[in-house]
Structure 1
Amino acid sequence: MILDQTRHALPEQLLARAVLAQAVIDLFSVSIACSTPDEAVTARRDALAFLTDADSVWAESRRTQCLLADHDPDVIRSRVVAILNGGRLNDDAHGYRLAGVEMARELWTKERERQRTYYAKAREKVKVRRETRWAESLRVQDRRIKDQRIAEKRASEPDMWRGLDRSIATHSELVDDLAAYLDIEL
């Protein structure tokens, strides 16, 4: 069956299919061909991100490989996510027995929890910033309303000291202004 699919395939298609198959193997197999256990964990996490991320560099890479391999990237992602969420995996995919499904599901669960925690913290930070900005805008708006009310009040009330706020050049001008205010003739 694999030969029928690859007989008329271009080399680029074959390479892209090999990349997708290797990601599936890295995610769902028990052992991964790596030199250290840390590299195996990294390869499994990279495969998980490559196959499941909705929007990231990994998702873009999956889209590219799927399009080269003539597969729908959303279908590939949804099938992998369905398996990670408890769906059944074909026991003999690409000639390998993929028995690491439980390890992949555990990694998937940890990754989703890590993302939930990250997004909860990010939402809290955004909420605090918005509340701070909102409080500051309210203070500015309150100050503006208060200044407007003071200006309206000053304009509506007769100002007995109107004219005295100008700078007076001489002592005699000050005496004349006070006399005019007190209604005294000098």
Structure 2
Amino acid sequence: MKATETKLKGCFILEPTVFEDSRGYFFESYNENKLEEILGYKPTFVQDNQSNSSYGVIRGLHMQAGDHSQAKLVRVVEGAVIDVAVDARPDSETFGQSVAVELSAENKKQLFIPRGFLHGFSVITEKATFFYKCDNGYNKESENGVNPLDAQINIDWGIPVDKMIISEKDQEAQSFEEFRK
């Protein structure tokens, strides 16, 4: 597995070693020991989530706050997305900065997103099935988020504005300026 740390400390792009032949392919999608070697600590994943969405859907930017914050290991098993992580750690040198990575069933890349990050993705193929592991359970009272179209963060979701499908909840989410207060 190849691991590349992004400009955001602790956020890694993971590329598996894929073995292909006439029968298809095989790759190791998760190995606790290898991930611990990359991160320098062992995350304990307690919950797996999966979603399926159509072209133009933008989900995010979401996070769990406080004691319920979550690190995530995300990947796509069908289609392709632009996956976005925004550093929301107030004491971080890269606070407010983001990374965007294309994750697809074809490239088999994964993104490890540490605790304290906002996260979202946009679907850039007809459909996409998105899968992720979390190191902490969901807690409704700890939900937090920022409008995915916030001008201060200025994310290129790879979708024309007239084709974007964003939930009412995400459209009404706070700005990054409100979030940081």
| Same fold, judged at TM 0.5 (above) | no
Of structures 1 and 2, the one scoring higher in RCO (CA 8 A, sep 6+) is: 2
Question: Which has the larger helix fraction?
Answer: 1
Structure that is richer in strand per residue: 2
